[in-house]
Amino acid sequence: MRRLNKLTIVSLLVFIALNKTASAEDSEFINAIKNLNLQTIDTNENSESADNRSQSINSETSINDKLEQKNKKLQMKYEKLLGSYNEIKLKGDSGNAESQKSTLSALSKEKDKLNAENIALRKQLADATSTLSALQKQGEQSLTSQKKELNSLGKENARLLNESEATRKQLAEATAQLAALRQQNELSVASQKKELNALGQENARLLSESDATRKQLAEATAQLAALREQNELSVASQKKELNALGQENARLLSESDATRKQLAEATAQLATLRQQNELSVASQKKELNALGQENARLLSESDATRKQLTEATTKLAKMENDSQKSATLKTKLLKTTEGKNSYSLGVFYYDKINAEFEKITKNNIKLTPSLMIDGMNDAFNKSLKIKKAEIMENVVKIDRIVQSINSDYAKKILKIINKKKYEVLANGSFLVTDKSTSKKYGENEIVTFDMLEKNLNGKPILNTMNTKVNFNQIHDPLLRKVVSEGGKGGAMTLYGKADILYKTIPDNVSAESLVSITFMLK
């Protein structure tokens, strides 16, 4: 396109040179065309320079496209002007002076407009060139900075790789050490469990042996059994028990010495009797045999007592040693993670049990804390004193009572009961003491009472008046409890659901409705 523009301009100049006889207006018009063409060529050359520079940065493509479009528009306007000039030449010079002047004026205005646009394009091109130069400079600086950063990052990456490799080695060593420690810990725990099992078996054996000792060792045996079961006595307390057993041992030894003295006295008396009396040889032999047997018996009992005392002392010393070992073992275990976790859970669950204990006792359920602890110990040692079925029955009964108290209908009943004495029965009903007297019914005495049945809102259901029954013939546990606790002139009331209090629910009473049955004792 640029070569075509140049060829067109050259042809136009040759054409103008061949027409030297043209008028002054033609000469002025040709000069305007020349000026316009030269500016166009200059713009094209600058555009070529800008195009060459813009090839290095893609961000200047849009500016060059705009310049190219402007250049095309100028080229089209040039071709239009050239066509107008040729048309004027073909029509001739005569009679067209005014037309040429008007055309020349229009072309001059168009030339000025095109020059202004050309100047604006040059300014835009200069700005684009400046921007391109700045961008090239920034690109070079950015490239240098990126190279430096890449070098720095490469060095940092190499350092981190070295540190990572060292850390991996340390982690591998630590993992190996941890595995070894875990294996040692498992072996140690297994060994400790075996030792504890052995101690438990030894304790059981010692307990069975101590039950066979004499009555004089009963107190020591009980103390040993308590020590084996609790295993939490202090060393000072164990020493005190050891001193007590030592004193008992000394007492038995003293008794044994007294027995020997008695035997010696008996022997001396026998010798005296031999000398003083003239007993027959048979009688003397019989007495000697009897005394000899008694002597042998006393000696045997004395030896057995000494042996028992020695065994008891040995067992007590062993138990004291085992207790000290157990305390030491406990102290060591408390320093381990397993020990701390176990001990912490023990305290935590005890607090929960204690909270549950207090909650249950608030519901008028009597419990003994020490027996609760004994139950836990017996369950741990698998030596229950009550059958499992009975235990579950009691637990279910307590749970029913607690659930009954915590239920919605129980809250309604408790609101009516207010602060009166009450008891939650196993079936979930409430037995309330409205009035109790000290005058109790005796054997074969006739019990007279009124029975008032009502809904909880006070609406009567049924009233049974002056019911009489012999006290000895009351076999229903609940009725006997009502009569015994209320006494003569007393009043007891049952609260609960109709389906619980009635075997046959009365008409117009729903099974879920709350009712009360009051016994007015006379």
Per residue in 408-417, pLDDT (tens digit) is: 778 888 889 9
Residue 484 has what pLDDT? 94
192-250 pLDDT per residue, tens: 677 667 666 765 675 666 566 567 656 655 665 565 666 555 555 555 655 665 566 55
Helix, strand, coil share (%) of the chain residues, nearest 5: 75, 10, 15
The token duo for 16 is 């103008």
Cβ atoms within 10 A of the Cβ of 355, count?
10
- CA 426 and chain centroid, separation: 37
Tokens 């397993």 belong to 338
- Please state whether the predicted TM-score (pTM) of the whole model is above 0.95: no
Residue 499: CA count within 13 A, CB half-sphere: 4
Q: What is the pLDDT of residue 188?
A: 64
DSSP 30-65: HHHHHHHHHHHHHHHHHHHHHHHHHTT-GGGHHHHH
Helix (H) or strand (E) holding 470: strand 460-470
468 in helix, strand or coil?
strand
User: Could you tell me how many helices (H) and strands (E) the chain has, helices first?
Assistant: 13, 6
CB 242 within 8 A of CB 316: yes
Per-residue pLDDT at 434: 95
3 state SS of 364: coil
C-alpha triplet 87, 92, 94: angle, nearest 5°: 135
∠ CA(297), CA(302), CA(308), 5° rounding? 125
Give the largest CA-CA distance in the chain: 208
Nearest of 519, 361, 522 to residue 452 by alpha carbon: 519
Per-residue pLDDT tens, the chain, 522 aa: give them: 544 444 445 454 444 544 444 444 445 445 555 454 444 444 444 444 444 445 545 555 666 676 677 667 777 776 776 676 666 666 655 445 666 677 677 777 877 787 787 788 788 878 878 887 888 888 788 788 888 888 888 888 788 788 878 878 877 786 787 777 678 767 766 766 776 676 667 656 756 665 665 676 566 556 655 656 665 555 555 556 556 655 665 565 666 566 667 666 766 766 676 677 666 566 667 766 777 787 777 777 767 777 777 776 777 777 767 767 777 777 888 888 888 888 888 888 787 787 777 767 766 678 888 888 888 888 888 888 898 888 888 888 887 777 766 677 788 888 899 889 998 887 778 999 999 999 999 999 999 999 999 998 889 999 999 999 999 999 998 999 999 999 999 999 999 989 889 989 998 899 888 999 999 999
Residue 241 and residue 221: Cα distance in Å, rounded? Answer: 11
Report how far residue 16's alpha carbon sits from residue 364's, in angstroms, rounded to the nearest whole number. Answer: 131
444 phi and psi, to 5 degrees?
60, 15
* 3-state secondary structure at position 253: helix
In the sheet with 430-435, reading across from the earlier edge strand, the strands are 421-424, 430-435, 491-497, 514-521, 446-455, 460-470
